[in-house]
Amino acid sequence: MSALLSSTPFSAIFAPFELTRFLLPAQSRLQLSSLTRYRSGFKSATSRSLNLRCCSTMPVQDQSESPSCSQDSLFYSRAFWVTKSIIAWNVGAGEGECYLYASRKAGLCVGDDGIQGHDVKIKLERTNYGLPQQVIEKFPHIRDYAAFEVPATLDFQSLVKCQLAVGIFNSYGKCASATGLQLPGILDDLFSYTGPLGGIFATEAVSLYLWAPTAQAVQALIYKSPSEADPVEIVQLKELDGVWSAKGPRHWEGCYYVYEVSVYHPSTLRIEKCVSNDPYARGLSADGKRTLLVNLDSDDVKPEGWDNLQDEKPNLLSFSDVSIYELHVRDFSANDPTVPHEFQGGYLAFTSQCVMGGATNDGRWLERNGDLDWYTDLMVYLRFVVRTHTHAQKRDSAGVQHLKRLSNAGITHVHLLPTYQFAGVEDEKHKWKYTDIEKLNSFPPDSEEQQALITAIQDEDGYNWGYNPVLWGVPKGSYASNANGPCRIVEFRKMVQALNRIGLRVVLDVVYNHLHASGPFSDFSVLDKIVPGYFLRRNADGGIENSTCVNNTASEHFMVERLILDDLKCWAVHYKIDGFRFDLMGHIMKRTMLKAKSFLNSLSTEENGVDGSSIYIYGEGWDFGEVAKNGRGINASQFNLFGAGIGSFNDRIRDALLGGSPFGHPLHQGFVTGLYSEPNGHDLGDKANVERMLTVSKDHIQVGMAANLKDFVLTNCDGQEVKGSEVLMHDRKPVGYASSPVETVNYVSAHDNETLFDIISLKTPKDISVEERCRMNHLATSVIALSQGIPFFHAGDEMLRSKSIDRDSYNSGDWFNRLDFSYNSNNWGVGLPPKEKNERNWPLIKPRLADPSYKPQKSHILAAVENFLNLMQIRYSSPLFRLKTANAIQERVRFHNTGPSWIPGLIVMSIEDGHQGIPGLSQLDPIYSYIVVIINPCPTDVSFANLALRAKSLQLHPVQMNSTDIIKNSTYDATSGCFNVPARTTSVFVESR
């Protein structure tokens, strides 16, 4: 409906005898109301109470009984308008006539005689055949609902802009039940759209496009700067088929705008005037108050050489060559004194040349309030960069030096935790609060004082992981030198450019599964203001699903999926991102992920300036919440992604190595933390049971080392030949689920849960030495580094990183999340971790933090870094560690020391290349023909002999022979085929050609 509607009463529009028609006069117009400025956080007492009643925690009635027709009924949306012609509702077969009601002004209410205040009442006909198959496929959670046919003669475009409800009557003519409607089905049916959205730049004009089919009116408020009070222009947008648009002059570029959308909102049961950013924003003012009209193709926002960056990217021949280092932007440099203070914790800390002295900074550009136009802001910024980098001594910061060492050793990708615009951290640094570092340092290592001081300001400091998205398509302003104007765009691009130039590709952590806020009032709500009830996944009562934490999104809806795909394209094309890690990927539909992979793969250097075939995607394939067991359609969970070529995190190898799970008892030991060989006192049953647990863990690890392939055949601990999918976890689910090595991301730690060193310190016996814990840290890392599949490492694991045993440091500030690239400290013992997530474990944590023998010295950290770099050099010394196909792994990878007569606690893996033992095996490695990896988690040296490994010309890998570690004491005797490996050591033996 392109015309604005008038405020003429519906009673004057509809003839009394035509109430089943909803036809609006083509020439009617809505009288424009005077501009009312939106005030952040304002709500009337009434709207607040309505919000509370409509939240996802609202009381749920027993769905086995038909709810009564009461005033509260309209606070629920239990009926679904699934297609243009069908409404689905969970009502009994014995109910009578059913009607659809609509009110343009949201005046519906429930009285004794049913629903009142409607402008139109439309009779619906119950069908006898239920919901069509295509509806069940899209909405499987309502497969058993009754289907009601909607008359085809209705003006659907006008109806969806109204408050809608359905009511059903019993045989006595009394209203038996009433409820609101959920509209995503009909919106997808009628308004799916593939045209332009957001701000579109042409030679002579700037156009705005907004998809908002339920809106009654939309206007854009144009501002010259991010802070001026009054708009310089108010533009009424016109609608065509659910898309609102306006065309403006080219000089709009560099201006800011917000949308004012008049729309019915189901959370308040009212027509609300929502003020919102553009969902397709590509620039923002500080804290996302307004959308910046910025052309990402403009040379003014590109660093020098940006358009040619594809030619400078490090080579990537195969996804099997990928290895990932997970890093938080602020962690990287917030505590690095070798980074200029104004760049600490931000994008520019990654630029390879950092000023070490002689720079001047009058600070004028940093103190700007953004009142000048963005181009002037940019010029001032560039002059600042030139001024601070001229006549100054420069060298790499400590963090950049460390990244270069990782890159030189073989790490290919840096995975950055969320960098889009998120809530929880103010963009403007002068608003941040700080804690006195000297005071924090003065407390004992097991004190409660540190966490008390940190948590007192945790929502007002500069730290948060960022898993609370507001706008997906704009870099976070707090990481930029100036959150207003285009600085965040320029500096983000500089970061990508710098990382690529030191040999590291960049992965973005994308969080499409949920949004930070919803409703018509929050400053952080965007999508739910534009099309309320569409972008967020709702439960059977109409409340928002919160299984991902809060405000789950619904990628099963067409325009949600489209927004995700468009956002990925923006990051890939305009920021030249090399990979995407999907947070809670299992809450996204498999269809969406396959489209994302296909679309990204189609990007070309010639047309898009990037090689999409080299973009790797992976994520968390956990299957839980409302999407579990394909509850909302086939989701992107681990088992469903078989054959998709999309990576998912392998929690099986993590839990087997460390013991238990992040949700189990913290003292539950695993393969590398002393299970069986060094019990910590936690009761796991008798000796036979513990030994059995060790053998099962070993099977899980071996499947993981073979890329967690579903069909990989190995001999299990019972001496049986089984496939990876036939090795089972405690809940009887298969261990192996992947079809190829690129579908498995092996890891032992990530930003979630305790760091690797911390969890080892928690699970191991108190009487072992810190040296032994350091070796366990290295042992766990070695398994990941030498496995088939994609190895993934949490930043700092290679430096024995500690967060003082904090299990969830998302908001624990710089203090608990510190990284020290000088290698002087691993951050152990900086106080009891924050109370909220850790208090129940304080009795376990406190004595460990208080014991000085737990704290590693600099020598331990340096040894850990050396050992990690050696591991990566070994991985990249032979393609045999990075086999590309499941068939190659099955042909070449063997596990020895298997079956009932095994040596407890020892994994022996061989990889063969063109050896005469397997006729016809092609040669992949020009240097080595055979590799043996022996993993000894025991506290003593272990000898292992195997007839199949006799008479080979095996030697310890040259990298390990040149190591300063005890690993150089590993030996092999060709006559007996016997290997000797030191305690808690992974040794690699190679046969040269």
Active-site residue list: 583, 620
The three-state DSSP-derived secondary structure of 836-888 is HHHHHHHHHHHHHHHCHHHCCCHHHHHHHHHHHHHHHHHHCCCHHHHCCCHHH
- Burial degree of 908 (CB within 10 A; 0-12, 13-18, 19+): buried
Query: Are the beta carbons of 387 and 360 closer than 8 angstroms?
Result: yes
- Helix (H), strand (E) at residue 829: none
SS3 state at 720? coil
920 Cβ neighbours under 8 A, 6+ residues apart: none
User: What's the CA gap between 513 and 639, in Å, rounded?
Assistant: 19
Q: Within 457-541, where are the H helices?
A: 487-501, 527-530
Q: DSSP letter string over 653-693?
A: HHHHHH-S-TTS-TT---TTTTTTTS--S----SHHHHHHH
Query: Are the beta carbons of 842 and 452 closer than 8 angstroms?
Result: no
Angle, to 10 degrees, between the axis of helix 558-574 and the axis of helix 184-191? 60
User: What's the CA gap between 676 and 516, in Å, rounded?
Assistant: 44
Burial 442-470 (b: 16+ CB within 10 A, else e): ebebbbbebbebbeeebeebbbbbbbbbb
SS3 state at 396? coil
User: What's the CA gap between 575 and 494, in Å, rounded?
Assistant: 10
SS3 state at 1? coil
- Please choose, from the candidates 357, 337, 339, 361, the residue with its C-alpha nearest in 3D space to the C-alpha of residue 348: 339
User: What's the CA gap between 264 and 243, in Å, rounded?
Assistant: 17
User: What's the CA gap between 371 and 365, in Å, rounded?
Assistant: 12
DSSP 833: P
Q: Within 256-373, where are the H helices?
A: 309-312, 329-333
- Please choose, from the candidates 324, 413, 393, the residue with its C-alpha nearest in 3D space to the C-alpha of residue 790: 324
